[in-house]
Amino acid sequence: MSRALTALLLAALGCGDSGTTDALPGDGGRADAAPMDADVLECDGGACVNRRCRLLDYFEGEAEDGLVVGELEEGALVPYETGGDATYVFGFQGGVMIQPVVDLPAERLADEPCVTVTFRHRADPAYPEEAGELEFFPETVIIDSLEPEGERYRGGAYADQMGWSAADGVRMILEAEVRGVDWALRTELPLRVVDQDGWDECDVVPTVFAAGCEVVELAGEIAVDAIGDTTELACDETAPVTLTIAPTDVEVPDGCYDLTRTLDVERGCIDSQELMVGGTLEATWVFPADSAMECYQSYGIAEGACMCP
């Protein structure tokens, strides 16, 4: 486990809010220029790192090609491929992030393992409509001390946030750069972002993470298809109401989600909302992306606790 991953765990326990961390200037850019107490972890802006790494000056010249970047699968590094997939996850605060790992030759870090790691994201010009929220998350910068992995050095998996909403199908150009005190390596490649189950056409339907659940939010026109007989019902007794939504801002592929729902609605709510067969209303549906999950649901109408007219 890299020190940066340990640092992220410490940050989650109380080192502060998440954010970009910049290196602090040191004396000459070498480890032996740092104070004697520099091996302690220091938290600033959400990242906890070895204080000695913060005190170094990092190389500012042009980066060379040769950096390997990818993600871990069952502990093994799988490098990203040009036009391939990068897996996103939801963080504990609800943000969406990929978790890239950097890998580089050992000789680059023979004298000093401290580095700055930068990930930059921008829209893929070949897919300009599939950029998601990248414009709001252009860059992540981390200070780390890399660990040996055989004849290579490796760092990660880093929390590289790229949005708040589910990012299935987002296309981006990922630039990864690692800078030591007297060298820099980089790579750049186009990627498609997918969830942990890989690509599925249903993933194009936007989801958000709320109250411990991944939920679908669909805005659209709701049609009232059917209402059960309410003539003999008391105010708080229920009748079936069948609704169908026609989403206005997203296309839902056939078979992905049931866009017709039958709800048990109190007679008082049917009357007070003036629901009638053939009527329509504009509303938003919220329901779990996984039908097996018990999550908050709402279908654009009040279903209970209504006053009778």
Closest C-alpha to 117, from 176, 164, 168, 162: 176
Contact call for residues 21 and 49 (beta carbons, < 8 A): yes
The predicted structure's pLDDT at residue 7? 38
Query: Among positive and negative, which fits the CA dihedral 61, 64, 66, 67?
Result: positive
Which pair of structure tokens corresponds to residue 248?
A: 């206005």
Residue 78 identity (one-letter amino acid): V
CB count in 10 Å sphere of residue 222: 22
The predicted structure's pLDDT at residue 279? 96
The predicted structure's pLDDT at residue 294? 86
Each residue's pLDDT tens digit in the chain (309 positions)?
444 443 343 333 333 333 333 333 333 333 344 443 445 556 554 456 677 888 899 999 999 999 999 999 988 899 999 999 999 998 877 789 999 999 999 888 877 889 999 999 999 999 988 898 999 999 999 999 888 888 889 998 899 999 998 888 899 999 999 999 999 999 999 999 988 877 667 777 888 887 788 899 999 999 999 999 999 999 999 999 999 999 998 888 888 899 999 999 999 999 999 999 999 999 999 999 888 888 889 999 999 999 887
Residue 90 identity (one-letter amino acid): F
CB count in 10 Å sphere of residue 89: 14
The predicted structure's pLDDT at residue 41? 59
Domains, the chain: 3-194 (2.60.40.10), 201-288 (no CATH)
Which pair of structure tokens corresponds to residue 287?
A: 């329901």
The predicted structure's pLDDT at residue 1? 43
Separation CA 286–CA 302 (nearest Å): 13
Contact call for residues 208 and 166 (beta carbons, < 8 A): yes
Which pair of structure tokens corresponds to residue 40?
A: 């302690």
Contact call for residues 112 and 16 (beta carbons, < 8 A): no
